[in-house]
A and B are shown apart, each in its own frame.
Chain A
Amino acid sequence: MAEVGPHGGIPPISVSSTSTRVNRTGSWKYIRPVYQDRVAPCNAGCPVGIDIEGYMNLLREGRDDEAMDLLLRENPMPAVTGRVCDHPCETHCNRRFFDEPVSIHAVERMLGDRILERDLPTPVATQRKERIAVVGSGPAGLACGYHLARLGYRAVVYEAAPEAGGMLRLGIPEYRLPREILDAQIERIRAEGIEIRCGVRVGPDVPWGELARYDAVFVASGAHQGRATGMEGEESDGVRSGLHFLKEVNAGGRPDIGRRVVVVGGGNTAIDCARTARRLGAEVLLLYRRTRAEMPAIDEEILEAEREGIEFEFLAAPNTVAKLNGRLRGVECIRMVLGEPDDSGRRRPVPTEEGQFTVIVDTILTAIGEITDLGFLPPDVHQDRWQIVVDELGATSTPVVFAGGDVTDSERTVAHALGDGKRAALGIDRFLRSAAGEPIPAVDPERYCLGPEGNISMTRWRDDDPLRRNSPVNEVVEFEDMNQDHFQHADRHPDHHLSDARTLAGFDEVNQGLGRDEATEEALRCMNCGVCNQCELCLIFCPDMAVSRSEDGWGFVIDMDYCKGCGVCAAECPRGAMVMTREGL
């Protein structure tokens, strides 16, 4: 650009005679930008420990196979959870502050269904000699066996029922989880190298002592005994455990429940009972002793129940069964009011003298909770109120015994059961390697947890993140930490549903999810909170052009010779994935 001309060779404009590279503006800075990925709230809110933000990111990149692989690393049964999980990820989704949460469950379901159609390679781990017995093939047991298999162990799952699946098969109705999906999902898990022995109950069929030949035992036999309501006449004909009713129907039975059915309870079992009874042709009234706001059931399920014509009577509890000629005819109910909060934080229902009423009824289904039956366990496995006491990696008071799912005080959701199974797999891995004299990493939640809630991440444990997060920290990124200017509003896709006419006609799946394109569009709504998704705004906004692409095309490098520490990159980063740190300290 040498300028030779009149006026002493002075150029016509203010332009430097040398390249600006001589001016190392980096010497001006006292703070410097650092790429530091945080944890998206969906991930922190997922008890399974799924890297949701990660698979959304991979889908955005069109790396669908890797997205499926990332999902399968953490979740053995996405086609199931995509349908029946209460998706706490969505209640945490930062996008709810912007427009509506990403329909994560629909994306997971789409990926889960695609996985079942595919033959994705299973990661090959170094095979180990240790064998582990798993008691129960529900989500906790299957997850534990699955992750153990992926860690190189041989797991044998004992299932008392004729088919695997635990509560997924026994308790969840087909209209929520079609059996062909469940069967295919379990088949896929089995194919990863797990042996499942059905029709074998630990205790009567296999004594506990026989499990001693295994190197470790994971107890996940669930909670199958319906809790008694305490109403007078509970033992009468026509009063049934809701869970037993569901098991019968789910196994193909069609019991005679009469025309009028009362369901007692407010959880998912109660709603499942009510909707199942409705499909058998009954008029259903659901009694719940608290109000709608306190109902523990999944909100969508309650809405579906309302759509299906189920009546609700809140602040009501059954008191006495009324019989005529020895047959159940009605139930006298009492009114409750809400008092002080109890241990669960919900306001305790207190009976009142007024407002008693009677309901004419043919069948009463009780669904106020289930308790464990742990008679097969030796006394050295400590219990507290019929629940096994475990530590943060699922270990019980007995060294080789681990436990998870509904037999512990874990929350009774599929997601928590899956998380517990994985947690115990990791605990068992550490225990057995330690027993074999191998060096094992210290118990460091930063190393194996995704987010501060203690959700186990196998990707972190194995340290092979395909998205190569930048110096990740376990802090959750808040919506306020993000630059909202860079996002555009986009409506959430509502799930497709079976028509009302077909809903009650049988047990066809009601929620039809989203089409593949719609689900992919949902993935594009993901804001990748806290994590660099290569959007390049740092590179575009850097006034010194100090930011450039890494040589391998993933991530960025900042030329500190020219970064003057202005902070524009960190301020513009839409996701809060950059921080400014003090220089030279």
Chain B
Amino acid sequence: MKKVIEGNHAVSWGAKLARVEVISAYPITPQTQIVERLSEMCADGSLDARYISVESEHSAMAACIGASAAGVRTFTATSSQGLALMHELLHWAALGRHPVVMADVNRALGPGWNIWTDQNDSLSQRDTGWIQFYCETNQEVLDTTILGFKLAEAVDLPVMVVLDAFFLSHTAEPVDIPDQELVDGFLPRREARYKLDVEDPHAFGALVRPDAYMEMRLQQQEAMERAHDAFDEIESEWEALTGRRYGAIEGYRTEGAELLLVTSSTITSTAREVVDARRDAGEAVGLVKVKMFRPFPTERLRRLLSGVSRVAVLDRNISPGHGGIFAEELRSALYDVPPDDRPTLFGYVVGLGGRDVTPTVIGEIIDGTRAAERPEREDLWVGVAP
């Protein structure tokens, strides 16, 4: 069934189709519609879930962790400062290996107060142990929410589904909503490996001494590594059912390219248009979309980017004192590529606080990358008043 829905409601539909059992959330713009719709679904009986209203995002995640520990499928959504407030419990969810799925609508952090999109909120949570997916379309948002539960429960790690404020959250697009039966077959009821059980009570989250802590951490890291292949398998299964596949990364018109743009989220859609136009004009320009940020698809990126002359990374985020975060991650990933095959990497900082990244901006980036011998700086700010 196709419906024209906003990205936020694509998330709600995804969670509903996943038959989430507990939802706990605190409202924040631009996320609120997600949980609003879910609360309506709980109220009208179309979703058999317990909706727990709480007084903060910290409590929302705590409630999700508690519910997840009891063995049920659990969901929340937040944005910006709300996600920041959850920080402590993001670690708890990940180290407790609770397969919570959370939607984060990318919104700039304040002050100055800003409700528009950039990625600093989710990327600030890079090291909390959450799998992170960045979405380009509302269809991808819905699919990734469902895929997220499957992956989370396969590797016992929490998953963050990230979408751009307004460009996706409040923009309506045609979305194919799969049948419940199809999703039920793809995503059966959660079978928790560990759960709270009054018949067999165990303590969770208690003291772990130095002689065991590293082994526990190593298993978290191994689970992250398993997530690469697990996601491939899950996507294959989904593709067989729906015909749709996104990939941890996606190469677009990369064949013979001398310059590859690296993008994430909705900037990708704009960049596709620019790449098409340049290809039509005979320029060897292509695009790599990064969907999965954690675990970082290092090997796949190395394979795709090796031998390309130049790479321009578009970062809608900034690690102050260093540079764009995707660019930094990619520099690190490409370090082991032999010098002859290693592309020159240009890191552009764009679109912070919801500033438009237009075809013109992307065109300037392409032209600037081709014209320069080497980047003048690690962080090249585009479209900023000098």
Contact = CB atoms under 8 A, between A and B. Distances in A.
Contact of A15 (B156, B194, B215, B220): B194
Contact of B202 (A1, A8, A10, A545): A1
B201 A12 contact: no
A20 interface: yes
B203 A13 contact: no
A109 to B, nearest CB: 38
A20 B216 contact: no
The 4 closest A-B pairs by CB, nearest first: A7-B215, A16-B203, A10-B215, A12-B219
Contacts of A545: 198, 201
B378 to A, nearest CB: 37
Interface of B: 95-97, 156, 194, 198, 200-208, 212, 215-216, 218-220, 223
A344 interface: no
B92 to A, nearest CB: 10
Interface in A10-37: 10-16, 18-21, 23
A15 B223 CA distance: 18
The dominant DSSP class at the B interface is loop
B96 A13 contact: yes
B201 A21 contact: yes
Contacts of A20: 201-203
A14 B201 contact: no
A14 B204 contact: yes
A1 B216 CA distance: 16
A19 B197 CA distance: 10
Interface string A428-461: 0000000000000000000000000000000000
29 contacts: A1-B202, A7-B215, A7-B218, A10-B219, A12-B97, A12-B216, A12-B219, A12-B220, A13-B96, A13-B204, A13-B216, A14-B95, A14-B96, A14-B205, A14-B206, A14-B207, A15-B202, A16-B202, A16-B203, A16-B206, A18-B202, A19-B200, A19-B201, A19-B202, A20-B203, A21-B201, A23-B203, A545-B198, A545-B201
A14 B208 contact: yes
Contacts of B194: 1, 13, 15
Interface residues of A, number: 16
Given A1-B194, A545-B198, A10 B203 contact: no
B255 to A, nearest CB: 42
A7 B156 CA distance: 17
A368 B96 CA distance: 79
Contacts of A10: 212, 215-216, 219
A12 B208 CA distance: 11
B216 to A, nearest CB: 6
Contacts of B219: 7, 10, 12
A88 B349 CA distance: 76
A15 B202 CA distance: 7
Contacts of A1: 194, 200, 202
Contacts of A8: 215
A14 B202 contact: no
Contact of B216 (A14, A18, A19, A23): A14
Contacts of A14: 95-96, 204-208, 216
Contacts of A11: 216
A15 B205 CA distance: 6
Contacts of A7: 215, 218-219
A314 to B, nearest CB: 53
Given A1-B194, A13-B95, 16 more contacts: A1-B202, A10-B215, A12-B97, A12-B220, A13-B216, A14-B95, A14-B204, A14-B207, A15-B202, A18-B202, A19-B202, A20-B202, A20-B203, A21-B201, A23-B203, A545-B201
A155 B139 CA distance: 86
Contacts of A18: 202
Nearest to B218: A7
A422 B202 CA distance: 57
Nearest to A12: B219
Contact of A12 (B200, B203, B223): B223
Contacts of B95: 13-14
A154 B204 CA distance: 69
